[in-house]
Amino acid sequence: MRKEILMKNLMKNIIVFIALSISLSALVGCSKTADSSKDSAEKTNSATAKNNDYPPVPSGIMQAEIRDVDGNTFKLEDKKGKVLLVNLWATWCGPCRKEMPDFVELQDKYRDQNFEIIGLNTDDESVEDVKSFAKAMKLNYLLGYTDGKFFIEFFKVTRQEGSIPQTMLINREGRLTGVFLGAGAANVAKIKDSVEKAISQ
């Protein structure tokens, strides 16, 4: 009887051990697969960057009419040949304000290298309010407005409907080279690095 109990306990322990081993090996397998996918993705991204094989920016973004605060209208398509940093923002948005000094610095640094920042106001704020805000913040880049269709197309790319700030980097050929969400220090560092790479290409 005692032997039977010991054998049953031993069998239970063996079964539990086997089950745990299988589970652990499955987890390690998934982890390795994820790591190799990550490595593969990094290699692909590196190759993509080297080949300048970026996706074209959707025509709904490139062809949309944008009106600047002085009443002039243009399309992003008109600005091919420039590196464009397109930023969605509003005056009441704290994170938007936080990244603006870095944008001012970028615009100053690369202005003579066909680089342009375009800040698109996402709220129904008046031109006067936006101009006053720009003056107070010492903004040195183009500010404007566009319609809801543009934002729908923008959010399709970023997959972050309604949240701001959101920023898109477009190279000289009208191809998308970066999408940046939020305004943390790490994100701003990525924007600066990406802009520098786009300018040098």
Residues 91 and 35 in one domain: no
* Residue 44 and residue 136 in one domain: no
Whether residue 116 sits in one domain with residue 33: no
Residue 53, pLDDT score: 67
**Can you give the CATH number for the domain in which 125 is found?**
3.40.30.10
What confidence score (pLDDT) does residue 184 get? 87
Spatial distance between the Cα atoms of 46 and 60, rounded to a whole number of angstroms: 28
* Claim to verify: residue 107 and residue 161 sit in the same structural domain: yes
Do 176 and 114 belong to one domain? yes
- Give the pLDDT score at 148: 87
Contact 54, 175 (CB under 8 A): yes
In Å, how far from its chain's centre is CA 33? 25
Residues 159 and 177 occupy one common structural domain? yes
4 and 95, same structural domain?
Answer: no
**Tokens of residue 178, six digits:** 């970066």
Alpha helix (H) ranges present in the chain?
Answer: 2-51, 59-62, 94-110, 127-137, 148-158, 185-200
Per-position pLDDT tens, the chain of length 201: 544 544 455 444 433 333 333 232 222 222 222 233 333 333 333 333 444 568 999 999 999 999 999 999 999 999 999 999 999 999 999 999 999 999 999 999 999 999 999 999 999 899 999 999 999 999 999 999 998 899 999 999 998 887 899 999 999 999 999 999 988 899 999 999 999 999 998
Q: Which residues are bridge partners to 74 per DSSP?
A: 66
Cβ distance 119 to 87 under 8 Å?
Answer: yes
pLDDT for residue 185: 92
Report the distance separating Cα 190 and Cα 158, nearest Å. Answer: 16
Shared domain for 141 and 181, answered yes or no, is yes
Domain-ending residue, one of 51, 75, 92: 51
Same domain? For 137 and 45 the reply is no
Are residues 132 and 43 both part of a single domain?
no
pLDDT score recorded for residue 82: 97
What is the per-residue pLDDT for 52? 53
The C-alpha atoms of residue 121 and residue 125 are separated, in whole angstroms, by 8
Together in a domain, 93 and 40? no
User: Of 32, 51, 70, which one is at a domain's C-terminal end?
Assistant: 51
Closest CA relative to residue 92, chosen from 160, 147, 194, 164: 164
Residue 162, classed as helix, strand or coil, is coil
118 with 145, same domain: the answer is yes
Task: Say how many domains are in the chain.
Answer: 2
Range of the domain at 154: 59-200
